[in-house]
């Protein structure tokens, strides 16, 4: 029965994405697992690419077929001393066809409990912002009206300074707090405060940035809460991730989040408030098929937009992925179907396609 579901889903995607198949197969031939990054003495250099083909059908409108480069990134990092490091990353912005500075961070790390970052980076926020598109579990991230609605300068980042630390042994607590430039993120000069606390009940997650999945490398039960505030306006989220290894090298995962954007952040600037939640579940089959494993993933989200210049409305988003995981986040092919429905104001639409991600 499971194999039939996989065949039906792949057949549907294939019919919609037939023009993209020859090109993506040629690119996929380059996705042979390789070393993680290039080491130039103490400096580490890496790169990442996300490219896709998508067919989009809006209600009452014309369909489109697009080949897209969603992200193309360069990563540079290295030590100054044993306790002082730097990180400099860029990202291609497909909307402007320009490359922008994503991260530019000076990092001071005394130990796991005391770290100071200063510059441009991801402020304390929800898990979805702290894993970004390259370490997310599903393909169509940041389209549901819920994930990572915090204000930002570029690709979820802001300019500022933050403290973070990891505490505990069996049950690990992660804490981060910082102050960021409100003017560049929101247009208001008041300082933007940000804080996050997370508890890992099973395996720990070390470091500042997070993943949307660990593809069976960890047994994870994590709950996190984050909030940002500027001049009495708030953006707050609660997120949850459970992941268990299954016999033979498979993995089962559940991810969810609740968000409340109260006059700060959100997906639609015409509405002062928005709130909602999503749930995501996945299963990666343990047996390899060729050089990778097949994963099934489903996600459902509902967001409400209120206190605006127009009538309130809601958005419901359903996403289905059939993924081919070659080397976790370094090489994966993700077929996707996304259905987006609104109760008023905005036309419904659906989209199907296939995406390729490679990192080194």
What string of pLDDT tens digits covers the 360 residues of the chain?
A: 444 444 454 454 445 444 444 434 343 443 433 344 565 668 999 999 999 999 999 998 899 999 999 999 999 999 999 999 999 999 998 878 899 999 999 999 999 999 999 999 999 999 999 999 999 999 999 999 999 999 999 999 999 999 999 999 888 999 999 999 999 999 999 999 999 999 999 999 999 999 999 999 999 999 999 999 999 999 999 999 999 999 999 999 999 999 999 999 999 999 999 999 999 999 999 999 999 999 999 999 999 999 998 999 999 999 999 999 999 999 999 999 999 999 999 999 999 999 999 999
Q: What is the model's pLDDT at position 128?
A: 97
Q: What is the model's pLDDT at position 218?
A: 95
Q: What is the model's pLDDT at position 40?
A: 65
The CATH number assigned to the domain holding 146 equals 2.40.160.10
Select from 199, 197, 164 the least CA-distant residue to 178. 164
Strand (E) positions, 33-171? 38-40, 43-58, 64-79, 84-93, 98-111, 114-121, 158-167
Q: What is the model's pLDDT at position 3?
A: 44
Q: What is the model's pLDDT at position 94?
A: 83
Q: What is the model's pLDDT at position 25?
A: 39
160-171 pLDDT, tens digit each:
999 999 999 888
How many helices and strands (H and E) does the chain possess? Answer: 4, 17
Task: Give just the sign of the alpha carbon dihedral 344, 235, 112, 90.
Answer: positive
| DSSP secondary structure letter of residue 191 | P
The total domain count for the chain is 1
Q: What is the model's pLDDT at position 96?
A: 84
How far apart, in whole angstroms, are the C-alpha atoms of residue 46 and residue 134?
A: 13
* pTM of this structure: 0.87
- Domain range spanning residue 243? 2-359
285-329 pLDDT, tens digit each:
999 999 999 999 999 999 999 999 899 999 999 999 999 999 999
Q: What is the model's pLDDT at position 19?
A: 45
Rg (CA), the chain: 20
DSSP 198-264: EEESSS---SSS--S--TTS--EEEEEEEEEEETTEEEEEEEEEEEEEETTTEEEEEEEEEEEEEBS
């Amino acid at each position: 029965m499971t194999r039939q579901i996989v065949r039906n889903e792949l057949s549907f995607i294939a019919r919609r994405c037939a023009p993209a198949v020859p090109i993506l197969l040629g690119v996929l031939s380059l996705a042979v697992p390789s070393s993680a990054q290039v080491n130039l003495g103490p400096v580490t250099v890496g790169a990442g690419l996300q490219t896709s083909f998508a067919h989009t059908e809006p209600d009452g409108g014309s369909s489109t077929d697009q080949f897209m480069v969603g992200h193309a990134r360069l990563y540079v990092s290295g030590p100054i001393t044993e306790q002082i490091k730097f990180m400099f990353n860029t990202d291609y912005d497909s909307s402007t066809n320009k490359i922008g500075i994503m991260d530019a961070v000076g990092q001071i790390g005394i130990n796991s409990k005391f770290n100071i970052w200063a510059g441009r980076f991801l402020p304390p926020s929800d898990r979805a912002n702290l894993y970004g598109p390259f370490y997310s579990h599903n393909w169509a991230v940041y389209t549901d009206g819920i994930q990572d609605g915090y204000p930002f300068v570029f690709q979820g980042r802001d300019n500022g300074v933050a403290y973070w630390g990891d505490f505990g042994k069996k049950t690990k607590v992660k804490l981060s707090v910082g102050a960021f430039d409100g003017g560049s993120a929101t247009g208001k000069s008041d300082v933007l405060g940000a804080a996050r606390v997370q508890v890992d009940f099973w395996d720990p997650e070390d470091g500042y940035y997070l993943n949307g999945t660990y593809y069976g490398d960890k047994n994870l039960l994590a709950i996190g809460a984050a909030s940002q505030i500027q001049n009495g306006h708030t953006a707050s989220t609660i997120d949850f991730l459970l992941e268990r290894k299954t016999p033979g090298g498979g993995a089962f995962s559940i991810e969810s989040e609740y968000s409340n954007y109260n006059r700060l952040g959100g997906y639609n600037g015409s509405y002062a408030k928005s709130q909602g939640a999503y749930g995501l579940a996945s299963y990666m089959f343990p047996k390899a098929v060729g050089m990778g494993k097949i994963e099934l993933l489903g996600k459902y989200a509902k967001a409400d937009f209120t206190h605006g210049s127009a009538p309130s409305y809601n958005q419901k988003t359903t996403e289905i992925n059939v993924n081919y995981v070659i080397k976790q986040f370094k090489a994966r092919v993700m077929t996707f179907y996304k259905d987006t429905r609104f109760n008023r104001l905005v036309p419904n639409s659906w989209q199907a396609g296939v995406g390729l991600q490679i990192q080194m």
